[in-house]
Structure 1
Amino acid sequence: MTQNGIIFDIDGTLWDASEPVAAAWNEVLALQTDTAGLQIPPEQMRSLMGKTAAEIYRVLFPGLSEERRSKIGELCSKHTNGYLQEHLGTLYPQVKETLRKLSRDFRLFVVSNCQADYLEILLDRCALRGFFTDAECYGRTLKSKGENIRLLLDRNNLEKAVYVGDTQLDFDSAKYAGIPFLHAAYGFGSIKEEVPAIQAFSELPVAVSKIF
């Protein structure tokens, strides 16, 4: 089997779940006395997705203690997992078809800053698990995205790999792990440096062939 791999971010790369995630969080926040007046619009949630849970809590609940932030965040995350079972995020166009094509020549992986249950929902409810050799996330390891990319590279004996993501953090993480980066420019973020980019997921086979 080939030792060349493509590693994917989730939010802003494979799907957009900002609307159902924001809706799920808002249902929880409305029931808490210290966040009852707080509502998170999908646009704000979109700007936060890709960060670790602790980072998101600090941005959204700056006036609360760290213990209280974590408690509310845990409630939101738990409710989100159930909510997403009925209100899935939206896969970007041609994701399944393109993954099927790529899997003929490359081993495919996922590394995200999400929680473990969130990763499982994407893989199972969107019927993507069969395309991927391995996956890792912050929720399992409590490691940074760069560290998780490195972990995945090592345990799968990958000789060459590229990370596909949409934010500056994704770029920085790929750089930390020592692998090339491909910007999903249709996603949530921008990159400060000039990097190879795709405007649609279906452009991946051609873009990846240039990198390898």
Structure 2
Amino acid sequence: MLKPDSLIFDMDGTLWDAVDTYANSWNLTFEKLQIQRIINRNELVGLMGMEGKKLTKVLMPDFDDDKALDVYLDVNETRRQILPTSGGNVYPGVTEGIKRLATKYKVLVLSNCAIGIIPLFIKWAGIEDVVTDYMAYGENNMPKHHNMRLLMDKHQLENPVYIGDTQGDAEQTRMAGIPFIFVSYGFGHTGDFDLKFDDFESLTDYYMSL
């Protein structure tokens, strides 16, 4: 594996845990729309990283596509409203680590989230000045491997790696043709990785040593 020139990070389960806030955004929306449904943390953890279209089918199987999309868009708007105050738990070492890594690599964030969520995370984590770019599924409704290639082309990344926490991340990274780095502390599990780290500090130290 070549020394990378850039690190593309997944967000949820890799850089922070905002599942409680996400669940709250669903429940606030359901309450407003008088939908008799409550989503708890455990239910949502197993779905983290899923593309929006797939997520709505799992969470709202009895709704037609148009109705489910309307609810999903409402949830995302609620989420954008409450994230600045509710936030999430940035994993230990992430804020300091990203700042260190940015002195040596281009740092980017790519997530299957809605538009507007990644910049709220970046501000919450205090890393506005060091992230080169970011991209969300909600910008074009395309899968991660497609958006990885868009970022690679846009920033002329020659040897990027993608860092994530799920089997889906691994699959999408393979489709993009770049190395996959797995962080085991997140929401998912996979045996398909080029490197594995159990905490962000170890990841930071490794890449700073190259």
Band of TM-score, shorter chain: over 0.9
* Secondary structure of residue in 2 paired with 1:130: coil
Residues 125 and 205 of structure 1, relative CA distance in 2, 3 Å threshold: closer
The match for 1:67 is 66
2:155 is matched with which residue? 156
Q: Which amino acid aligns with 2:7?
A: I
Count of matched residue positions in the alignment of Structure 1 and Structure 2: 208
Q: Which runs of 5+ in 1 are unaligned?
A: none
Matched residue, 1:88: 87
1:195 CA drift (Å): 4.2
Give me the whole-angstrom Cα distance separating, in 2, the residues matched to 1:137 and 1:44: 22
Give the RMSD, CA atoms, in angstroms.
1.8
- Matching residue of 1:47: 46
Q: 6-15 or 74-83: which moved more?
A: 74-83
State the alpha-carbon separation in 1 of the partners of residues 58 and 14 from structure 2: 22
TM-score by length of 1: 0.92
Distance 1:194 1:175 in 2: 9
Hey, what does 1:173 align to over in structure 2?
A: 172
Q: Give the C-alpha shift of residue 16 in structure 1.
A: 0.3
In structure 2, what is the Cα distance between the partners aligned to 1:101 and 1:128?
A: 11
Determine helix, strand or coil for the equivalent of 1:129. coil
Describe the SS at the equivalent of 2:156. coil
Instruction: Report how far residue 73 of structure 1 moved.
Output: 0.9
Q: Which amino acid aligns with 1:85?
A: P
The residue number in structure 2 matching 1:76 is 75
Structure 1 stretch 104-113 or stretch 125-134: which is displaced more? 125-134
Distance in 2 separating the partners of 1:194 and 1:150? 19
CA separation in 2, counterparts of 1:209 and 1:197?
16
Distance in 2 of aligned mates of 1:21 and 1:194: 28
Residue in 2 that maps onto 1:191: 190
Q: What's the TM-score, normalizing by structure 2?
A: 0.93
CA drift at 1:32: 2.6
For structure 2, the 5+ residue unaligned runs are: none
Q: Report what 2:14 is aligned to.
A: 13
Measure, in 2, the Cα distance between the counterparts of 1:115 and 1:45.
16
For the 8 Å contact 1:12–1:187, the answer to whether it is kept is yes
Question: 1:207/1:176 Cα in 2 relative to 1: closer, same or farther (>3 Å)?
Answer: farther
Matches within 5 A, 1:128-143: 128-143=127-142
Distance 1:194 1:107 in 2: 21
Contact 2:4 2:161 in 1 (8 A): no
Spell out, residue by residue over 1:7-31, the C-alpha distance to the aligned partner (whole angstroms, 9 max, x if none).
0000000000000110121111123
